[in-house]
Homo-oligomer: A and B are copies of this chain.
Amino acid sequence: MPKIAKQPVWQVSWQLTFKTTGRTLLDMKNSAKAQDTRSALIEAGIEQLSNYGYHGTGIKQILDAVNVPKGSFYNYFPSKEAFVADLLTHYIQSHLDEQDAFTANSRASPLNTLRQLFQKGIERYEAQGCQQGCLIGCLAAEIGSTKGLCQNAMKAAAHAWEERITTLIEQAQQQGEVRQDLPAAALARLVWSCWEGALLRMKLEGKVDPLQDVIDHFIDRLLAV
């Protein structure tokens, strides 16, 4: 399975050094404070983008949320687009890490593990009041291919998650839990689409029923043998 790089694909760094001695006075790249600020900006960005979308989120409101002075944003990120692309990579990686840990520790069958992963998703969305969907799906709908850096990050995210689903379905097929007339990858793509569409519906209806349908009807009836 391809692993999404944990580290951002680029990094802004600057150093303040004494011209005479070459001694480093301030190293922004390695400064713990800079890393903290960077992480805080990413966390605030995820929150704001989940609620207001790409165009509805201004750099200013993110800086305000973490008390970072206006103007210093570009010390951390070269552009809004690069910031969002980096944030999407961070967002998906934290979800994948969580899912991988859950799967690795699961004693349930592959199909039950898949079911439980989605059930955990339902609990998370319900705790958020059904207002925030999947950030990947929401931004795919809003900006699609118009922001190249973000599009690449979202495609990688979708593929990485789909690979996890494929592996579980493949194992479930081997154990005779899931129908075998279609390849696991094809079924995983349908599960991805169905879940993302159900998340849109959840936002409209303000309830998790469309997500529960994916488990109760799609996984348990259409996929399960």
A residues apposed to B, CB below 8 Å = 51-56, 130-131, 133, 137-138, 140-146, 151, 154-155, 158, 181-182, 186-187, 189-190, 192-201, 203-206, 210, 213-214, 217-218, 221-223
Chain B nearest CB, measured from A141 CB (Å) = 3
The complex places the Cα of A205 from the Cα of B152 at a distance, in Å, of 9
**Contact among B190, B199, B200, B221 with A182 in the assembled complex (CB-CB below 8 Å):** B221
Cβ-closest chain B residue relative to A132: B144
**Contact among B138, B192, B201 with A142 in the assembled complex (CB-CB below 8 Å):** B138
Assess the A190–B203 pair: CB atoms within 8 A: no
**Contact among B133, B154, B195, B222 with A222 in the assembled complex (CB-CB below 8 Å):** B222
The complex places the Cα of A138 from the Cα of B199 at a distance, in Å, of 12
Beyond A182-B221, A205-B155, A222-B190, whether A140 also contacts B53 by CB under 8 A is no
